[in-house]
Structure 1
Amino acid sequence: MMRFILLLSFFLFLFQDTCFSIEIENRDIKHNVSAKTITITVPDKKTSITIDYSNGCVIKQLSLNGKNTLSPSGVYTGIRTSNATFSSADDNKHITLTKNANGITLSGISYGNGTISVKEVWDFKLNGNKIIWDITRDYNNAASLEDMAFPKWNFTDLSVWKGGIMDNGGMVWCKYLKQVNDTYGVHTGGVTFWNTESGDALRITAKTDKGKEIASKYSHSEKNEFTCTQLVTDTQLKQRYDLSRFVSGKADVFAPFEVKKGKLKVSFELQYVDYNREYSRGTLAGIDAVAVRELLNTTGRYGVVDNNIIGANGWLTNWKCLHEPFFAQIGMAVNDPNYTNNMSATLDQERDQAMLGDGRVLSRWHNAAGDEIPGTYNSKTGYYEAMWGYTIDSQTGYVINTSEQFDLNGNVDWLRSHQLSVEKALDWLIKRDSNNNGIFEMMNDGIADKKASDWLDIVWASFENSFVNAQMYEALTLWSKCERILGNQQKSDHYLAIASRLKTAFNKPVEEGGFWSAAKQQYVYWRDKDGSVHGDNLVTPVNFAAIAFGICDDPKRIALILDQIEYRSKAENLFHWPLCFDSFKREEVSEGNWPFPKYENGDIFPTWGYLGIRAYAKYDKAIALKYINNLLDQYKKDGLSSQRYSRTTQLGLGDDILAGISTSITALYRDIYGVRPKWNRMGLEPNMSSTLNGTKFSYTNRNTVYNLELSVNNYLMRTNGFSIKSKESFGANKAGNILTYYPHNDDVMLLQINSASNRSINMEINSWDANAYSWTVTSPDKYLFTIKGLAPGKKYELAINGVAKHFTSKNDGSFSIEHTCKSTTKFAVK
């Protein structure tokens, strides 16, 4: 009997030693001692990892919703010298496991050789439904390395994820790592990988020691895996091949680097994300919300090349055109603070590196020389002038993007840091009016120069270019408001006066030096220095820009242009607008544009779609919505993974993918839903159609979540601090207990409501016109109401629930009154 008990005890000991669980606040960490594996599962069971330390140390499985995402290679750390590769997966029998406060620690991980060896400690902890993985690395010596894995994630293949949204606002699109060793490298560490079909997403949040740099590269491995590799260094990594962020057929994208003797640490949070919920676009009545989400998370983000480089040509071709004015608008629609922050930094870099001393803004950034006017390429920065000609819309593009970016970041100090450079950029172009007619001139005189002057870079638009001048009008108008905010009213008035003169000159008939062709019922494209007029072939970005930017506000002209464009589009059954409807003359374009329709001479370039949507939104919303839906349908067919579309087949063409191809959808948010953030408030200026009634979505502006509900003449904006319902456009902001309402989202008047408590302030605007202002408060509290922008010293009548009293506005045009609202209370001022 005693012998049986001893044997039973022995076998129970063996079993206990083979598999036991560590229960930490109901969170499960299972250790199989004999197999030397640890499985860590978060409480909601959405995420689990299995670590194998039987022969080296590797994360062998990373499961989301019960499905493993890793290849047999798993996740490991390592280094590569000039002649050898070492990793945590190398044979190592001396790894030990200990418990820590909330998890486990693996120590004794070592690899390397006599020249450089590495010791690592891996700490795993559970924090809610997140797995925290800390890696502490100790180099025994300083060394030069070719590469490192800190760590390297080896996913099964390129179909596991559609892509990854990076914490600089950009994205890696897995399908474009087509060939083995195609690699994309960026200077940021965090990423959210997602699978559209399952809705599963993995968020990897990366944190390093202060003063250290983190970078990541994404690649198509020789085993056909999709890999993500993080690198942590003392200084920012440089590119191995020129300034290339993407390299084809090469696993190395970063140049060799030095590591120092000693320790450094990186921490990763692994978290399951419900992609459909986290990135939901809400309820978009009459619009495919899933297509909107996917288009903005792929095509819209694709233009982020790296930190400080946001463009539209994107990372595959390593290109960014500064002569494009819509990057801030794309950020408004993407609605990711990482994109917004990166766009601010991009404009900072362009101010510092792409602007010449006289105010000229260089037109492009590229990874290598070859596309430049000789002598203009800067191999250190990548900025240069395009070989096709001086594209002058880089001046206007910088100003427009800076002005609109300020509305997103709301940072007055940031705006002030751009004040002198924007003024220099504007003044550079303002000086280019040799005949003093109010129209600003390009640097080429005529088509005989065979040079471009704007985005259509192989069309020889010259001298007085209407497309650039329409953008100049927008730039002057936007920047004049910024000057006023910065306290320089004189400069503000100066730029407005120049814009007004330009508008007058622009709208004159071609016979009188303007751009309006009564014969063709359209704005022509350009006038050579010899007075000859060119581009009366219904060039869409030219005519759309004139209307969208407001330099043309004549209702008759607007109707003539837009009716004509829609008639021509319907006649050809085009899903989107071509660059021009009729052919340029042979001598007006590069040979690559011939015969018509071909390339910039007649093909479909959706990049300028936002101008068309903006132009049609106030003229015929049904037409604007038709082309928005057409573009979403096209995305579902081919991912909008093209530079342009053939006019004849309407199939995608061109190796270059353009992020600007998403702008018709950014215009959905700006010009249909009316999302108009301002530097000091959230704004709504909708142009809704009945087919869109019931639209509901949330929008985050500078850390405040705004819940928006939109129908025709019925707009609701709600946050945790207030709710405003209105039939008309408005803006609002709450700071502390003060809610500020901006009628029509303008700065002419405002209503401030200061509540005695911190409860939500809920109100409805009944009317707000020149003679009567009326609102209803539905939340009980004691309030101080202040109206600013009234006529100074004028008598008004105030009625509260129909009981009237009279007051006289102050000399500054303001009026204040205290009132305790015990129930729904209506206020009316007239």
Structure 2
Amino acid sequence: MIKRFLTAFLILQLLALVQVFAHDKKLKTIITGNRTITLAIPDKKLSITIDFSKGYLIRELKIKGKNVLSPAGIYTGISTKSKSFFSNSQFNGIKLSQNNGLIRLSGLIYGDQTIAVNETWEFKVYHDKIHWSITREYNNTTKLEDMAFPQYNFAGMDVWKGGILDNGGMVWCKYLKQVNDTYGVHTGGVTFWNAESGNGLRISTKTGNGNVIATKYSHSANNEFTCTQYVTNSRLEQRYNLSRFVSGKADVFAPFQIKKSMVKLEVDLQYVDYFKEYSRGTLPGIDAAAVRELLNTTGRYGVVDNNIIGANGWVSNWKCLHEPFFAQIGMAVDDSNYIKNMSATLDQERDEAVLASGRVLSRWHNVPGDEIPGTYNPKTGYYEAMWGYTIDSQPDFVINTAEQFDLSGNIKWLQLHQTTCEKALDWLIKRDSNDNGIFEMMNNNISEKKCSDWLDIVWASYENSFVNAQMYEALTLWANCEKTLGDQEKSAYYTAVAQRLKTAFNKPITEGGFWSPDKKQYVYWRDNDGSIHGDNLVTPVNFAAIAFGLCDDQQRIAQILDQVEARSIKENLFHWPLCFDSFKREEVSGGNWPFPKYENGDIFPTWGYLGIRAYATYNKGIALKYINNILQQYKKDGLSSQRYDRATQTGQGDDILAGISTTITALYRDIYGIRPKWNRMGIEPNMPAQLNGTTFSYTLRDTVYRLKLNVNDYEMSTTGFSIKSKDGFGAGKTGNMLTFYPGNKDEVIMQVNALSKQPINMQINSWGTDAFSWIMTSADNYSFTVKGLQAQANYRVNINNFSRDIKTDDLGSFTVKQRCASSTKFIVTKGL
């Protein structure tokens, strides 16, 4: 025994004195005599140093040679009601072993007579990742107060700007202002980034055996930024009501039970070139860096947690269901995790926030206090707002569902929402008690001092034009969904209801509509006594009428938009206010007085997308001006406000609104023309000349589309095809078949079948009702089938100046086959 002890002692002494070390050049692994291990990926952009001299501790995590950890490093542990135990404070029997590049630390046991943890760490370098496996064996079933599985302690609150979460959301370090401010979510993966250096750290996580992961982000007493992860047998509950964010408290999650079992967490640590990974491409005339940062912060901030995506955000623990732009934000953010979470959010709302009658509850909040008495559900958090029944939650639920379907492409998911969306629409349709085609609110007049929409302390009543405009959009979108689901009868019904609403909406106020010929604007609402209110140029009302297609009278559009722009220039406003002139005092809550104040005249960029959409086809230059204005404002203050004071144009309000990003989501939808459809990628650009040369990639359902945009010159390409056109279009490829949608519409399509699997490249010269032309620039044997034309009609097909006549079948289709060895031009014209 003495001999073995001396041998071991001599070996340790030799290691300590001459620092003999094992160095695996391929895996970049160094094991030193002071009981540390250093692992690095081959390019050395990421390395970690593990200290096992007193337990288990990752002492350093270096990004491009710079350690980003505090002295506390990264460790694991548990906390019972009486004591905490951590992996870095033990010194009993730590064992190190190596096998084929796998580093294994074992022998660590910590805890007490109530619970003991036997923990093993394993590491291995795989290409650009360091894989870390944590295995725990609990010897008992007990309740814990807290856990570190593991806890990352970064050197300061400014190491990272924030972290992009794998549920599509983000943690913004600057919002963890005070010590112990903490944000807790039910997901594990995160990509931290530094916006100055472009360095990023991605932490990917995977659990097994039915376990789940959660994470809290906090501002420690040592001013560290900490990321603490939990692996538990069941989903963690919140400790304080339904709060995901708590101020001044680090214990955001409620106590939880762990079972006598073995639990494992797989972690991949990876360096990320943030500028490259999250590049927005080349955007002439636009600050691409500001777009990237705005969408990765403000745009994502509305993700409160899994199944809760809104536009207020996680600091206030609030989500308004009476907002129609959550799916649109996802379109611009362009993150499959956001898309997945948005589908789950709508699933949860369908199940928990829609009543049997079809009424969609208007809000979610972490605590009661904002509700109509008796409506708050403490288990789900959904309720009716205390200010009144905000009826826009009805159409907005449907708008988000329809637009989310186009992003997800999941028709089975849409089928599961069909009945609920029909009930939500029908609930409001039934409220047309006087059968005039306009749908009525639950409050009748201003004397009730109740709201009926998003402007919740303005007493809009009875026939509300803003809600009805959103209803028109919902009806139009849902009619298309019914058609996709194969119910032509319901599609026709909702289309007819929308058309009747449009007709009634556009009548002069003297005839029961909302148009004021004298003021040259749409008024806000009509009380049940016939009195007219809100003729003070309310911007969301007038923008919505144009943006949603209710107003297609070019003279009216010009009268409204020219008036708004003249007033904005006169006051030198960087963005549009909710209204230009004052409401009457009896029309609003006292908190809106004197004008301009709060919802009576302040600037709320939340509704910016309606303004951009309204101006995009009328005056692109004006739309572009406000887009750039909001990017400049983001660079000043991060848009970290609810609203902006009309006089000073400085940020106001504690309730930070993620919806303030919608002006930039409109850049993608209404300027660049990103219009995904459930079965294709679509583009419908409105490009001003200043943006010529725009190029970027857009990912839809795992396919990367490369887009090049100039005025009347658009190109979309993937690894499987390339299409150029001077008009908007849609396209999708499955197998060897490319489907082209002129104008990104469904009425007429062309299917191009190739014999080989080579990319299909084509240029569309023109596409009209009776004549269309294209050029194939790739060589192959092709079959061209055009569908949706007039049935039994004669057409002449000219291929490289050789003509032939063809006739459509009973379904309005024809097929032409052609071998294209070089550039081949096709011209199709309808015959007599």
The two structures have a TM-score, normalised by structure 2, of: 0.98
Distance 1:807 1:20 in 2: 84
Quote how far apart the aligned CAs of 1:102 are. 2.3
Residues 25-61 of structure 1: CA distance to partner in whole angstroms, max 9, x if unpaired? 712110112x110011110100000011111211000
Distance 1:129 1:394 in 2: 46
Is the 2:708–2:715 contact (alpha carbons within 8 Å) kept by the matching residues of 1?
yes
Distance 2:343 2:19 in 1: 53
Distance 1:305 1:562 in 2: 35
Give 1:608-757 correspondences, 5 Å limit.
608-757=607-756
- Tell me the secondary structure at the aligned position of residue 655 of structure 1: coil
In the alignment, structure 1 residue 312 sits paired with structure 2 residue 311? yes
Give 1:507-526 correspondences, 5 Å limit.
507-526=506-525
* Structure 1 equivalent of residue 244 of structure 2: 245
* Structure 2 equivalent of residue 559 of structure 1: 558
Is the 2:27–2:101 contact (alpha carbons within 8 Å) kept by the matching residues of 1?
no
- Tell me the secondary structure at the aligned position of residue 148 of structure 1: strand
Query: Residue type of the partner of 1:488?
Result: D
Quote how far apart the aligned CAs of 1:177 are. 0.4
* Structure 2 equivalent of residue 599 of structure 1: 598
Distance 1:17 1:485, change over 3 A: farther
Query: Residue type of the partner of 1:736?
Result: G
4+ runs deviating over 3 angstroms: 10-13, 15-25
Distance 2:323 2:808 in 1: 46
Quote how far apart the aligned CAs of 1:17 are. 8.2
Distance 2:324 2:66 in 1: 43
Distance 2:229 2:207 in 1: 11
Residues 470-501 of structure 1: CA distance to partner in whole angstroms, max 9, x if unpaired? 00000000000000000000000000000000
Distance 1:241 1:154, change over 3 A: same
Quote how far apart the aligned CAs of 1:129 are. 1.2
Distance 1:617 1:138 in 2: 60
* Structure 1 equivalent of residue 5 of structure 2: none
- Tell me the secondary structure at the aligned position of residue 612 of structure 1: helix
- Tell me the secondary structure at the aligned position of residue 559 of structure 2: helix
* Structure 2 equivalent of residue 52 of structure 1: 51
- Tell me the secondary structure at the aligned position of residue 88 of structure 2: coil
Q: CA RMSD in A?
A: 1.1
Distance 2:155 2:679 in 1: 47
Quote how far apart the aligned CAs of 1:771 are. 1.9
Distance 1:551 1:199 in 2: 45
Quote how far apart the aligned CAs of 1:310 are. 0.1
Distance 1:718 1:357 in 2: 46
- Tell me the secondary structure at the aligned position of residue 696 of structure 2: strand
Is the 2:166–2:188 contact (alpha carbons within 8 Å) kept by the matching residues of 1?
yes
Is the 2:298–2:639 contact (alpha carbons within 8 Å) kept by the matching residues of 1?
yes
Quote how far apart the aligned CAs of 1:14 are. 2.1
Residue segments in structure 2 that go unaligned for 5+ positions in a row: 1-9
Quote how far apart the aligned CAs of 1:15 are. 5.1
Is the 1:470–1:551 contact (alpha carbons within 8 Å) kept by the matching residues of 2?
yes
* Structure 2 equivalent of residue 30 of structure 1: 30
- Tell me the secondary structure at the aligned position of residue 418 of structure 1: helix
* Structure 2 equivalent of residue 349 of structure 1: 348
- Tell me the secondary structure at the aligned position of residue 680 of structure 1: coil
Is the 1:54–1:93 contact (alpha carbons within 8 Å) kept by the matching residues of 2?
no
- Tell me the secondary structure at the aligned position of residue 573 of structure 2: coil
In the alignment, structure 1 residue 474 sits paired with structure 2 residue 497? no
Give 1:202-601 correspondences, 5 Å limit.
202-601=201-600
Residues 78-105 of structure 1: CA distance to partner in whole angstroms, max 9, x if unpaired? 0000010001011314111100322310
* Structure 2 equivalent of residue 6 of structure 1: none
Query: Residue type of the partner of 2:28?
Result: D
Give 1:810-821 correspondences, 5 Å limit.
810-821=809-820
Is the 2:92–2:108 contact (alpha carbons within 8 Å) kept by the matching residues of 1?
no
Is the 1:578–1:647 contact (alpha carbons within 8 Å) kept by the matching residues of 2?
yes
Give 1:184-203 correspondences, 5 Å limit.
184-203=183-202
Residues 133-192 of structure 1: CA distance to partner in whole angstroms, max 9, x if unpaired? 000001111110000000000000100000000000000000010111000000000000
Distance 1:11 1:444, change over 3 A: closer
Distance 2:571 2:17 in 1: 76
Quote how far apart the aligned CAs of 1:22 are. 4.3
* Structure 1 equivalent of residue 149 of structure 2: 150
- Tell me the secondary structure at the aligned position of residue 89 of structure 1: helix
Distance 2:458 2:247 in 1: 31
In the alignment, structure 1 residue 799 sits paired with structure 2 residue 798? yes
Distance 1:574 1:776 in 2: 48
Residues 344-382 of structure 1: CA distance to partner in whole angstroms, max 9, x if unpaired? 000000000000010000000000100000000000000
Residues 567-616 of structure 1: CA distance to partner in whole angstroms, max 9, x if unpaired? 00000000000000000000000000000000000000000000000000
Quote how far apart the aligned CAs of 1:65 are. 0.5
Distance 1:11 1:397, change over 3 A: closer
- Tell me the secondary structure at the aligned position of residue 241 of structure 1: coil
Quote how far apart the aligned CAs of 1:24 are. 4.6
Query: Residue type of the partner of 1:162?
Result: K
Query: Residue type of the partner of 1:595?
Result: P
Is the 2:90–2:108 contact (alpha carbons within 8 Å) kept by the matching residues of 1?
no
- Tell me the secondary structure at the aligned position of residue 429 of structure 1: helix
Is the 1:19–1:30 contact (alpha carbons within 8 Å) kept by the matching residues of 2?
no
Query: Residue type of the partner of 2:297?
Result: T
Quote how far apart the aligned CAs of 1:829 are. 0.5
Query: Residue type of the partner of 1:26?
Result: K
Is the 2:137–2:263 contact (alpha carbons within 8 Å) kept by the matching residues of 1?
yes
* Bigger mean CA offset, 727-736 vs 19-28: 19-28
* Structure 2 equivalent of residue 3 of structure 1: none
Query: Residue type of the partner of 1:203?
Result: R
Distance 1:18 1:229 in 2: 38
Distance 1:12 1:645 in 2: 66
- Tell me the secondary structure at the aligned position of residue 122 of structure 2: strand
Residues 265-313 of structure 1: CA distance to partner in whole angstroms, max 9, x if unpaired? 0010000000000000000010000000000000000000000000011
Is the 1:407–1:679 contact (alpha carbons within 8 Å) kept by the matching residues of 2?
yes
* Structure 1 equivalent of residue 6 of structure 2: none
Query: Residue type of the partner of 2:184?
Result: G
* Structure 1 equivalent of residue 774 of structure 2: 775
Distance 1:446 1:768 in 2: 51
- Tell me the secondary structure at the aligned position of residue 827 of structure 2: strand
- Tell me the secondary structure at the aligned position of residue 110 of structure 1: strand
Is the 2:23–2:31 contact (alpha carbons within 8 Å) kept by the matching residues of 1?
no
Residues 226-280 of structure 1: CA distance to partner in whole angstroms, max 9, x if unpaired? 0000000000000000000000000100000000112110010000000000000
Is the 2:395–2:425 contact (alpha carbons within 8 Å) kept by the matching residues of 1?
yes
Distance 2:521 2:201 in 1: 51
Residues 186-228 of structure 1: CA distance to partner in whole angstroms, max 9, x if unpaired? 0000000000001000000000014111000000011110000
- Tell me the secondary structure at the aligned position of residue 230 of structure 1: strand
- Tell me the secondary structure at the aligned position of residue 163 of structure 2: strand
* Structure 1 equivalent of residue 67 of structure 2: 68
Query: Residue type of the partner of 2:125?
Result: L
Distance 2:334 2:464 in 1: 34
* Structure 1 equivalent of residue 118 of structure 2: 119
- Tell me the secondary structure at the aligned position of residue 217 of structure 2: strand
Quote how far apart the aligned CAs of 1:323 are. 0.1
Quote how far apart the aligned CAs of 1:335 are. 0.1
Distance 1:512 1:206, change over 3 A: same
Is the 1:124–1:132 contact (alpha carbons within 8 Å) kept by the matching residues of 2?
yes
Distance 1:590 1:101 in 2: 72
Is the 1:18–1:32 contact (alpha carbons within 8 Å) kept by the matching residues of 2?
no
Is the 1:579–1:600 contact (alpha carbons within 8 Å) kept by the matching residues of 2?
yes
Is the 1:515–1:525 contact (alpha carbons within 8 Å) kept by the matching residues of 2?
yes
Distance 1:210 1:319 in 2: 33
Is the 2:739–2:752 contact (alpha carbons within 8 Å) kept by the matching residues of 1?
yes
- Tell me the secondary structure at the aligned position of residue 107 of structure 2: strand
